[in-house]
Amino acid sequence: MRLDPFYLIVDSAEWISRLVPLGVKLVQLRIKNKTAAEIRVEIRIAKAICAAYGSQLIVNDYWQLAIEEGCDFIHLGQEDLEVADLGAIRAAGQKLGLSTHDSAELETAMAAKPDYIALGPIYPTILKQMKWSPQGPERLRVWKERIGDLPLVAIGGLNADRLDGVLSHGADSAAVVTDITLNADPETRTRQWLAATAAWRQ
């Protein structure tokens, strides 16, 4: 499986409706602090938009809702993984991406036979408090050697200027939140990401 080098992460279907039509081919819906009923609606709308534009939707955390809504790709962190039913996820034919932050987590993640591994935070992030110090792009090489052909996602503090650095250190895809969603002009910033990743899309 190949992942697009530009992996957008947003917290609403509204963002997906704004940015996916610009050409984003890989997008995660990562919603916190909403009810399950509200998240179901968001997933449904996001799925329809992604289907219309040929974009791969990945649902964060809410694997049961993702299955019920007919989505095909989820992302889980290590704490999510502890309580998730991997058998049900596989039986539903879901692809699975997993977060890792250290070697022990990588071992746990690999045992779950994921479809990609994410490593973060590569740089300091302002989105959420992290227990881990920034990994630095060099650590991506170490992860790539350990996971072989499995796609590797870099996340945390990425911006258009840091893209080439992470992709040239072994990441197959660069995930981003605030460099786009907190930008004064998110559409223009998204176009910059699309242009900056074009050479890695061949």
Ligand X SMILES: Cc1nc(C(=O)O)sc1CCOP(=O)(O)O
Ligand Y SMILES: Cc1ncc(COP(=O)(O)OP(=O)(O)O)c(N)n1
Least distance to ligand Y from the beta carbon of 90, Å? 19
CA distance 188 to 2: 26
Task: Identify residue 46 by its one-letter amino acid code.
Answer: A
- 3-state SS, residue 155: strand
CA distance 76 to 89: 11
Counting contacts by CB under 6 A, is residue 108 touching ligand X?
Answer: no
CA distance 153 to 99: 9
Q: For ligand X, which residue has the nearest CB?
A: 120
Site string for Mg ion, 42-61 (x = CB under 5 A): -------------------x
For residue 5, say if its preceding peptide bond is cis, omega within 30 degrees of 0. Answer: no
Q: Which of residues 76-95 bind Mg ion (CB under 5 A)?
A: 77, 80
Tell whether residue 30 is among the known ligand binding residues.
yes
Least distance to ligand Y from the beta carbon of 80, Å? 5
Cβ-proximal residues to 19 (8 Å cutoff; 6+ apart), any chain: 8, 10, 27, 180, 186, 187, 190
Region binding ligand X by CB under 6 A among candidate stretches 43-51, 166-174, 177-185, 186-194: 177-185
Binding site for ligand Y (CB under 6 A): 28, 30, 60-61, 75, 77, 80, 97, 99, 118, 120, 128, 153, 155, 175
Tell whether residue 157 is among the known ligand binding residues.
yes
Among 71, 155, 171, 174, binds ligand X (CB under 6 A): 155
Q: Given the structure tokens 């990945």, which residue do they identify?
A: 58
DSSP state of 28: E
Token pair for residue 196? Answer: 């900056």
Point out which residues bind Mg ion (CB under 5 A).
Answer: 61, 77, 80
Question: Which residues are at the interface with ligand X (CB under 6 A)?
Answer: 99, 101, 120-121, 125, 127-128, 130, 155-158, 176-179
